[in-house]
Amino acid sequence: MERLQKVIAHAGITSRRKAEEYIVNGRVKVNGKIVRELGTQVGKNDMVEVDDVPIYKEEYGYYLFYKPKGVISAVSDDKGRKVVTDYFTHIKERIYPVGRLDYDTSGLLLLTNDGEFSQKLTHPSHEIDKVYVAKVKGLAKKHDFLPLTKGMKIDGYKTAPAAFQIISVDLKTNTSIVELTIHEGRNHQVKKMLQAVGYPVQKLKRERYGDLTLKGLRPGEYRNLNKKEISVLMNQSK
């Protein structure tokens, strides 16, 4: 069961706020009867009409996608570049990415058409671990990364404490592989954090989101989230 205004908004008729106005003004019917109560709950089998026109209630879809490098985290691009939804052409739901990964960053990205799910996961208060693996310039030394664990000032804001692990160091190429775990998702945050401690990022991949991993997927492939995974994500979000 869902709130009536949410069902109307999700059908693409109008915004949720406008949908509330429609309900109060008597423009909405449920099973043939005008409903003016904003808290009204409707189920899959209920017939909802706006101005006597039945609405199409789209099923929710939840997908875990292995975003390749060089793809935009959007549903369209005015420069004609490839976007993540280009990989979902046969999916009937009008899905969109939850948050974003940079154009040149690969890895785990969620897509859905459930606005409440997306809003919960992208809210600044959520505390879901996001694990990134970065190839950085320089020979990584543990003490250089300690400021990340306390939070640091970037672009006028202080980051939340992060966790790190130095995976490997390559003397020949003067590069290192570093794992960074954060809770936030600001624009270019991981790159800026590593740059700030003296290790410019050359390559970046998001390996994990909460308990979700890329296991079994190759770049450009996706799978459906199961009910347990969806529930865990919703419960991890505040």
Q: What percent of the chain has pLDDT over 90?
A: 74
CA distance linking residue 235 with residue 238, whole number of Å: 7
Q: Is 26 left (phi over 0), alpha (psi -120 to 50) or beta?
A: left
Q: What's residue 1's pLDDT?
A: 81
CA distance linking residue 199 with residue 190, whole number of Å: 11
Amino acid at 83: V
Domains of the chain: residue spans and CATH: 2-54 (3.10.290.10), 62-123+214-235 (3.30.70.580), 129-209 (3.30.70.1560)
Q: Which residue in 51, 102, 114, 211 is the catalytic one?
A: 102
pLDDT value at 186 more than 60: yes
Closest-CA residue to 146 (of 132, 162, 131): 162
* CB-side neighbour CA atoms (13 Å) of 63: 23
Q: Is the pTM of this model over 0.85?
A: no
Beta carbons of 109 and 103 less than 8 angstroms apart? no
Closest-CA residue to 57 (of 65, 47, 67): 47
In the DSSP assignment, the letter for residue 158 is E
Distance of CA 140 to the CA centre of its chain: 30
Q: What percent of the chain has pLDDT over 70?
A: 99
CA distance linking residue 147 with residue 159, whole number of Å: 10
Closest-CA residue to 26 (of 56, 4, 57): 4
Q: What's residue 96's pLDDT?
A: 93
Q: What's residue 215's pLDDT?
A: 97
Tokens linked to 176: 């290192």
CA distance linking residue 209 with residue 228, whole number of Å: 15
Give 97: exposed, middle or buried? Use CB within 10 Å, 0-12, 13-18, 19+.
Answer: buried
Q: What is the pLDDT of residues 55-72, one digit of tens each?
A: 877 788 999 999 999 999
Please indicate whether residue 102 is annotated as part of the active site.
yes
pLDDT value at 238 more than 70: no
CA distance linking residue 33 with residue 48, whole number of Å: 9
CA distance linking residue 238 with residue 236, whole number of Å: 7
Which strand (E) or helix (H) includes residue 127? none
Average pLDDT, the chain: 92
